Chains A and B, each alone.
Chain A
Amino acid sequence: GTGGGPDESSTTLTIAANSIEGGKNAESAQWIKQWVIPEFEKTHPNVKVLFQPSGVDDEQYKTKIALDLKSRTGADVIDLDGIWVGEFAQAGYIKPLTEVGGATVEQWEGWSQIPQAVQGLGIFDGKKYGLPQGTDGRVLFYNKTLFTKAGLPATWQPRSWQDIIDAGTRLKAAGVPTPIQLNAGTAMGEATTMQGLLPLLAGAGAEIYTAGKWTGASPAMKDALALYQRVYGGSGLGDPKLQQEAKGRDKSFARFAEGKIGILAESDYFWRSVIEPKAGVAPMKDRDQAVGYAKIPAKQPGSGIRGQDYVSMSGGAVRVLNPFSKNPRLAWDLLAFMHSAAATKAQLAGQVRISARTDVNDEVLTADPMLKYIADDVLPLTAYRPGLAVYPQVSTALQEATAAVVSGRSADEAATAYQAKLEGIVGGAANVSG
């Protein structure tokens, strides 16, 4: 759309994102500077668009944005992790898009292109706060070379947790140093929760937050922790030390690339950016041949959430409008523009990842079977985290529970400790289920 205020002549708009040229998410930063800004300024001759890059740890970025919004300053269009939408909304830092951008928001053409589940990333309390940029999905990556060596099929899809354990046992017997890498412990941070405990919990039939209650030491939680215990509790299937090291996750990437890990649960980021043959941080030249991927099975077929056989977890970033923007309507124009099909395609230029728009995905993902697999097979099964302010603490509690198991405590003990901790975090047993 066009529109905008009468004094467009002296207007500047600012975009803030956790990306920076030459650093973290450099592609995204390049896209904003080299595509979004010139293109938008072409159609809005009197508007100057500025970019405010960051490119740091998510927590630090979040802190900075929160401080900005708290003091009613900051950029007009802001990148946020979907998981933060709830807490920012509760704090009054962001407002529903229609409240800020006006009536035109509802009429945006893009809504029809974004699947409901993905739209959920920007929704809190039933209101749309942000436009999702894209999403991801978690699967099990496995090393086909090692599988062949262990006599396992090169095309592998486990149907239950037991299948994973069995494969791990075979790999171990075949001399693979670390058969299974299931992120655990506090050092891995959110990777433990997203790639580890939450998919398992979903596979055992529970979500971390449902109907206003947080899942405590429920049977599903105990099942999930029990699987950790089977992997790390002396079976030799996993490497407990690796979970404790501060740089454990980076090392797990490197080890997978070196062919020392059999099965590894990760998001498609692993495929795109870690073992990517050319620019990855732990490149595998023969990625396309040597690495397979499989959906994460439920504990038993049908025992997953919504009765599913397979589960996954997804996250994704959104863009929101700053409610204290001086030109909210114009900011919305910019936001909508950044999420147009053309913009989305431009953003993906050269690389393949799952955007929020189906029209773009349909076009782009054909280039990469893996991402197409995620979009087609995994996203329909996936689940999202609750965007509430206490979630980071709950996540930490979950990480600590896995850490306890890794360091030798039983799943039950860890679950009990977790329950106590959780009650403290969420304000009493009344808010805990299970």
Chain B
Amino acid sequence: MARPTSAADAAGLGTGRAIAFVLPALTLIAVFLVFPALWTIYLGLTDYRLTGTAAADPRLVGTANYTGALTDPRFLSSLWLTVLYVGGSAVIGQAGLGFTLAWTLRTRTGPLRRAVEGVVLLSWILPSTVVGFLWFALLDRDDGTLNALLHTPGLAWLLDHPLLSIIVFNVWRGTAFSMMLYSAALENVPPSHLETARLAGANVPQQLRDVVLPAIRRHILTNLLLISLWTFNDFTPFVLTGGGPEGRSEILPVYVYRVALKDGQLGAGAAISFLILLINLVLALAYLRLLRGRRQRRRHQEIAAAGGPPA
């Protein structure tokens, strides 16, 4: 493969056609994504509700929704829970398990590998409306499969460990993406690099540290970016715990659902949605910062590789 990186305009698209190619997608995005998103952000500045007097006559309240949320202990605890949830289930859980699976399955072929990949992917693509039932059956206090297996009758996983439960649930639900991504990424690690480390006597952790992680760092960052973003907006745990008990699993999307739909405070809900966006933005910028350091180095690399050694 001669040039993995794209030269400018290999197919001779030209600017005009390039625009024509991008335009349909951008139009759809503009109409059905950007426009409603901006409208939602505007709603966040009002006291708009779905019903009641505020529905007939919403008023601009400035940043009241924001200060309201930021001073609401429930929001803050929800934010903290979300951080734990994202950190535990996405960053550690999905990415960690996904990597572990990708790494251990890397050299395997045959039925075991296909079975593991099959169930992991199945967990990912089953409809979210259905998976709630599956997990009830697993975690139920009285007749749950898990208690039956562990001989711990009556252990109420969802009540005693609500956050842990939804973290494990989300790991189950979302590991497939990380596994797939890392599997593909690991194929880009030159085997000769790993073998050089092995010949030097490096054990597996040392191989990971010295060879694998540096080589797939960009994949790791992209993966973290996407799964953090998705987990931050993941509403599915609601079907398991309904945010409870006592809000101990009320992550931000559930909080928004409660505020916007149950309590009908759409203005406040919109404001919180925007806050989530800002938090995601901060997260993305942090990841990108890590990435950029890498990128610049890579660009350097390309120039050097193409232009021969600098004197």
Q: Do A and B come from one complex?
A: yes
Q: Are B245 and A91 in contact (CB under 8 A)?
A: no
Interface residues contributed by chain B, number (CB under 8 Å): 29
Q: Tell me, in angstroms, the Cα distance from A187 to B246 when the chains sit together.
A: 9
Q: Are A245 and B141 in contact (CB under 8 A)?
A: yes
Q: Are B242 and A91 in contact (CB under 8 A)?
A: no
B31-54 Cβ-contact flags toward A at 8 Å (1 or 0): 000000000000000000111111
Residues of A within 8 A of B51 (CB): 62, 66, 84, 87-88, 90-91, 93, 389
Q: Tell me, in angstroms, the Cα distance from A317 to B159 when the chains sit together.
A: 34
State whether A247 and B136 are in contact (beta carbons under 8 Å apart), knowing that A93-B51, A389-B49 are contacts in the complex. Answer: yes
Query: Which of A40-48, A131-139, A390-398 has 4 or more CB atoms under 8 Å from chain B?
Result: A390-398
Q: Are B158 and A389 in contact (CB under 8 A)?
A: no
State whether A185 and B156 are in contact (beta carbons under 8 Å apart), knowing that A87-B52, A91-B52, A389-B52 are contacts in the complex. Answer: no
Q: Are A187 and B245 in contact (CB under 8 A)?
A: yes
Residues of A within 8 A of B156 (CB): 241, 244-245
Residues of A within 8 A of B53 (CB): 90-91, 389
Q: Tell me, in angstroms, the Cα distance from A393 to B49 when the chains sit together.
A: 12
Closest A residue to B250 by CB, please name it: A186
**Cβ of A73 < 8 Å from any Cβ of B?**
no
Residues of B within 8 A of A67 (CB): 50
State whether A91 and B55 are in contact (beta carbons under 8 Å apart), knowing that A389-B264, A396-B263 are contacts in the complex. Answer: yes
**Cβ of A92 < 8 Å from any Cβ of B?**
yes
Q: Are B264 and A392 in contact (CB under 8 A)?
A: yes
**Cβ of A363 < 8 Å from any Cβ of B?**
no
State whether A246 and B240 are in contact (beta carbons under 8 Å apart), knowing that A88-B51, A407-B246 are contacts in the complex. Answer: yes
**Cβ of B244 < 8 Å from any Cβ of A?**
yes
Q: Are A404 and B56 in contact (CB under 8 A)?
A: no
Interface centre among B49, B55, B56, B239, by most chain A C-beta atoms within 10 angstroms, is B55
**Cβ of A403 < 8 Å from any Cβ of B?**
yes
**Cβ of B184 < 8 Å from any Cβ of A?**
no
**Cβ of A388 < 8 Å from any Cβ of B?**
yes
Residues of B within 8 A of A244 (CB): 156, 159, 244-246
Question: Which B252-305 residues have a C-beta within 8 angstroms of A?
Answer: 258, 261-265
Q: Are A187 and B136 in contact (CB under 8 A)?
A: no
Q: Are B242 and A186 in contact (CB under 8 A)?
A: yes
Residues of A within 8 A of B245 (CB): 185-187, 244-245, 403, 407
Interface centre among A93, A246, A247, by most chain B C-beta atoms within 10 angstroms, is A246
A68-103 Cβ-contact flags toward B at 8 Å (1 or 0): 001000000000000010111011110000000000
**Cβ of A235 < 8 Å from any Cβ of B?**
no
Residues of A within 8 A of B123 (CB): none
B124-150 Cβ-contact flags toward A at 8 Å (1 or 0): 000000000000100001100000000
**Cβ of A7 < 8 Å from any Cβ of B?**
no
Q: Tell me, in angstroms, the Cα distance from A392 to B261 when the chains sit together.
A: 10
Closest B residue to A70 by CB, please name it: B55
Interface centre among A185, A245, A393, A404, by most chain B C-beta atoms within 10 angstroms, is A245
Q: Tell me, in angstroms, the Cα distance from A119 to B247 when the chains sit together.
A: 38
Q: Tell me, in angstroms, the Cα distance from A247 to B261 when the chains sit together.
A: 20
Contact of B56 among A90, A185, A407 (CB under 8 A): A90
Given A88-B51, A241-B156, A403-B245, 20 more contacts at CB 8 Å? A59-B262, A87-B52, A90-B53, A91-B51, A91-B52, A91-B54, A91-B55, A186-B242, A186-B247, A187-B242, A187-B244, A244-B156, A245-B156, A245-B159, A246-B239, A246-B240, A251-B142, A389-B51, A393-B264, A407-B245
**Which residues of chain A have a CB within 8 Å of any CB of chain B?**
59-60, 62-63, 66-67, 70, 84, 86-88, 90-93, 185-187, 241, 244-247, 251, 388-390, 392-393, 396, 400, 403-404, 407
Ordered by A's residue number, 23 sampled pairs between the chains whose C-beta atoms are within 8 Å are A59-B262, A66-B51, A66-B55, A87-B52, A87-B264, A90-B51, A91-B52, A91-B55, A91-B56, A92-B55, A186-B243, A187-B245, A241-B159, A246-B136, A246-B239, A246-B241, A246-B242, A251-B142, A389-B52, A389-B55, A390-B52, A404-B246, A407-B245
